[in-house]
Amino acid sequence: MTHAGNAVVTPDRDDAPTQGALGDVTVSTDNARAAAEDSLEDYAFRYVPRTFRRWSAASVGATALGSIAFLADFSIGASIGIDHGTPNAALGILFASVIIVMVGVPVAYYAARYNLDLDLIARGSGFGYYGSMITTVIFAGFTCIFFALEGAIMAQGLQVATELPLWLGYLISTVVVIPIVIYGMRALERLQFWTTPLWLALALLPLLWILVSDPDSVRAFTSFTGNSDGSISFGAVVSSAAVCFALTPQLAEQIDYLRAMPPRTPSNARSWWTSFVFSGPGWVIFSGTKQVIGVFLAVYLLVKVEPNLGHHATEPVKQFVGMYQALIPNWLAIVLAVVLIVVAQVKINVTNAYSGSLAWSNVFTRVAKHYPGRTIFVLFNLVIAYVLMMLDVFTLISFVLSLYANVVMAWLVTIASDIAINKWVLHISPRFPEFRRGMLYDWNPVGLVSVGLASILSLLAFGGLLGDAVKPFSVLIAIGVAIVATPVTALATRGRYYLRRRSDGIDSPLFDDDGNPSGERLRCHVTGYTFERPDMLASAERGPRGEVQYVSSLALTLDDSDRYVLPPEVTGPRHWAMTRGKGR
């Protein structure tokens, strides 16, 4: 019996040695079995089967929304508000939010509809089997950076409450998430469900009281000019938005929950779409609101509490302590602020550590053809985050996020463009986001050219090498180049590098009557286990009587030979038409 996250699955298996377990592939076969049996595998490099997806759409949506309790939003809003004033900051937040929703809709839909994480989607959306590792490393870096920012905020709270040294606070904020993260989706779902009401009460009730009881604070907020001259300028709006764009990879963390959505059927369509909208692309509505609140709290501190606080007003610890102190005794204000910060930090950092470990394990497994277990990558991710905390990344939050946003938007806009334009408008990219080894080319120039070109040009602009007038608009360059380069490269290559094969060699349909990935189960002759139809291919190795055998994508990922991989097919420029099927 194996425990795959929340679901307890009893895989069917042959007790006798399978053909794939003989000879020189014994080690690879054992490795594939170990990964299939590992309770921490969490479908890091394959389709999430129906047997795992036992939650309702509403439950998945509520769990996903619980992960957006992070406090970095308040810091980001406060930082851009102090630099550019409330009007520019608010417009920048709105501008970034609209773009993020536009990018998020196609990507999140594919995750929820086809039950794949962002790496698997990227494989069949312009990057190829190995090419998507580039995007996965970018995302893994995001989880480390934001874990460090949230961990630093928690350490600041512990220091205020107990005078604990920051380095020890960093360590505590790092190790506290380990017991939760190693148990995967079940532990995360329970944590998010039980802590969300507490977080909302601590964060919003005092704020609402101040808004009602102190109208002057609202007027001070709306008229706050920060370090600007008070005028609204497009450059300041874009500069504000650039910092917010660095949050876009949060979409990938939302996807790590959305991929567990149940099949969409006529009976659950309304709840399915509602959960998808609010927990998928709609996460930015809550994020943008928190950023605006961050501006308000910074202004409140600077105008009503401590005018000489300067950029320390961007620290959520000081923001919430100052807000609570206006309502309750100092000692209780500190206690409640620390409780809020610890709850919020744990809620988001279990997601950062979980998603980061999936990303690192995905990359390592494809390169090394070996799966050492996800726990190792949890620890690896946390070590990197701790080092960033010790380097005091929090004090450089605006610069780090502005720089990172250029690469982030190049990556995510490329994937979104391939889905929205190449798949649905031009019909060059295969409609179903293929992810299985053997079906894809290793590298696809569509995604690689787009991300590379958009990243290089935007970073040159960010560094001032394209002129001072262009520098504030570096992120827009990344977005614009990615939107154009993705379809242009696909047209130039005639879509020939998307699919290595038209057919996976299996006669049964890939989708059910409702357009969901099929729940039919087939036996993998390498591991002896059964896997669901979207996770399987025909094996190049025939059975003892010449019959067709099936091999799982997991076994193919961990196999260091090509003995099970079907030969490539000669594909014309319109091979994508063969893959559209019912996957709508």
pLDDT, tens digit, 9 for 90 and up, residues 204-214: 888 888 888 88
Q: Token pair of 583, please?
A: 């996957």
Alpha carbon distance 227, 223 (integer Å):
13
pLDDT, tens digit, 9 for 90 and up, residues 297-326: 999 988 888 888 777 888 888 888 888 888
| Contact criterion met (CB below 8 Å) for 86 and 224 | yes
Burial of 16 (0-12, 13-18, 19+ CB in 10 A): exposed
Domain range summary for the chain, segments of one domain joined by +: 2-39+503-568, 57-493
Burial of 353 (0-12, 13-18, 19+ CB in 10 A): buried
| Contact criterion met (CB below 8 Å) for 77 and 292 | yes
> What pLDDT score does 63 carry?
74
> What pLDDT score does 44 carry?
62
pLDDT band at 395 (very low <50, low <70, confident <90, very high): confident
Q: What is the rounded average pLDDT of the residues 413-420?
A: 97
Q: Token pair of 386, please?
A: 């701790």
Alpha carbon distance 508, 110 (integer Å):
22
| Contact criterion met (CB below 8 Å) for 125 and 447 | yes
Alpha carbon distance 549, 561 (integer Å):
17
CA dihedral 246, 200, 306, 77 (to 10 degrees): 20
Angle subtended by helix axes 283-300 and 57-66, to nearest 10: 30
Picking from 549, 497, 548, the residue whose alpha carbon sits closest to that of residue 523 is: 549
| Contact criterion met (CB below 8 Å) for 482 and 414 | yes
Q: What is the rounded average pLDDT of the residues 56-70?
A: 77
> What pLDDT score does 191 carry?
65
Per-residue H/E/C for 510-568 = CECCCCCECCCEEEECCCCEEEEHHHEEECCCCCCCCCCCEEEHHHHHHCCCCCCCCCC
Cβ partners under 8 Å of residue 551, min gap 6: 20, 524, 525, 526, 536, 537, 538, 539, 541, 564
Task: Select the more confidently predicted residue: 16 or 122.
Answer: 122
> What pLDDT score does 37 carry?
52
Top mean pLDDT of 168-172, 174-178, 577-581 is at 168-172
pLDDT, tens digit, 9 for 90 and up, residues 432-457: 889 999 999 999 999 999 999 999 99
pLDDT band at 38 (very low <50, low <70, confident <90, very high): very low
Q: Does the pLDDT of residue 402 top 90, yes or no?
A: no
Alpha carbon distance 102, 412 (integer Å):
11
> What pLDDT score does 551 carry?
94
CA dihedral 68, 478, 498, 110 (to 10 degrees): 20
State whether the Cα torsion 358-360-365-371 is positive or negative: negative
> What pLDDT score does 580 carry?
41
Picking from 245, 234, 237, the residue whose alpha carbon sits closest to that of residue 401 is: 245
pLDDT band at 396 (very low <50, low <70, confident <90, very high): confident
Q: Does the pLDDT of residue 556 top 80, yes or no?
A: yes
Q: What is the rounded average pLDDT of the residues 200-226?
A: 87
Q: Does the pLDDT of residue 4 top 80, yes or no?
A: no
- The C-alpha angle with vertex 2 and arms to 351 and 26, in degrees rounded to 5, equals 105
> What pLDDT score does 350 carry?
80
Name the helix (H) or strand (E) containing 423: none
Mean of all residue pLDDT scores within the chain: 84
Phi, psi of 540 (to 5 degrees): -70, -15
Picking from 532, 505, 537, the residue whose alpha carbon sits closest to that of residue 520 is: 532
> What pLDDT score does 275 carry?
92
Alpha carbon distance 315, 74 (integer Å):
8
Alpha carbon distance 430, 419 (integer Å):
9
66-70, 380-384, 504-508: least confidently modelled range: 66-70
pLDDT band at 31 (very low <50, low <70, confident <90, very high): low
CA dihedral 282, 285, 286, 289 (to 10 degrees): 180
309-313, 336-340, 359-363: least confidently modelled range: 309-313
Cβ partners under 8 Å of residue 219, min gap 6: none
> What pLDDT score does 20 carry?
38
Q: Token pair of 416, please?
A: 């979104």
Residue keyed to tokens 């006669």: 507
- The C-alpha angle with vertex 363 and arms to 361 and 366, in degrees rounded to 5, equals 100
Q: Does the pLDDT of residue 17 top 80, yes or no?
A: no
What is the share, in percent, of the chain residues with pLDDT greater than 70? Answer: 87
Q: What is the rounded average pLDDT of the residues 211-221?
A: 88
Q: Does the pLDDT of residue 563 top 80, yes or no?
A: yes
Q: Does the pLDDT of residue 544 top 80, yes or no?
A: yes
Q: Does the pLDDT of residue 222 top 50, yes or no?
A: yes
**CA neighbours closer than 13 Å in the CB half-sphere of residue 93:** 28
Q: Token pair of 55, please?
A: 């939650």
Q: What is the rounded average pLDDT of the residues 544-548?
A: 91
- Cross-strand partners of 536: 552
Alpha carbon distance 454, 241 (integer Å):
18
CATH superfamily of 57-493: Hydantoin permease (1.10.4160.10)
Alpha carbon distance 225, 222 (integer Å):
9
pLDDT band at 327 (very low <50, low <70, confident <90, very high): confident
> What pLDDT score does 80 carry?
93
